[in-house]
Amino acid sequence: MSNAIEQQQQDVSGFVILCEGCKEPLIQRLSNGLWKFKWGRQQKFNEDNELIYEWTPIELYVHGTIRIKCFRKDCAHWNDLTFLPNVNEIETIEQITERFQEIKELLDRFPKARQRA
């Protein structure tokens, strides 16, 4: 799992999904397939009321299909977000045919294995 998080930290591109109910930003979809959800903002000020730093207390990365309720009180709409794999994860017919040919050649080389298969 840490590999996926490391990969997403390097990959900042993606797009924001809007709530179906209120059309406000809800969650980000990264180009590597992960959903990125950030909630809350904490700020630290010095004695002169100058912002020292800011951080997000909740930052969540999800892989898969999710159902998320809009956190706005006046909306509270349930959003179903379907996970679809990245294009580079989908095998083409040519790749499947190539794998089939490799397996067939291996079975031809080892006839006893073919009898068991």
Residue 9 pLDDT exceeds 50: no
| pLDDT reported for residue 20 | 92
Q: Which is nearest to 31 in space by CA: 87, 81, 92, 82? A: 87
| pLDDT reported for residue 76 | 92
| pLDDT reported for residue 5 | 47
Residues 96-106 pLDDT 10s: 788 888 888 88
| pLDDT reported for residue 84 | 64
If you search the block for the tokens 């207390």, which residue do you land on? 57
- Give the pLDDT band of residue 13 (cuts 50, 70, 90): low
What average pLDDT does range 67-88 have in this prediction?
Answer: 82
Rounded Cα distance between 86 and 33, Å, is 6
Residue 107 pLDDT exceeds 60: yes
Residues 30-48 pLDDT 10s: 877 788 888 877 778 888 8
Mean pLDDT of the chain: 77
Give domain limits for the chain. 2-84, 86-117
What average pLDDT does range 6-21 have in this prediction?
Answer: 68
CA distances from 88 to 13, 33, 84, 95 (A): 16, 11, 11, 12
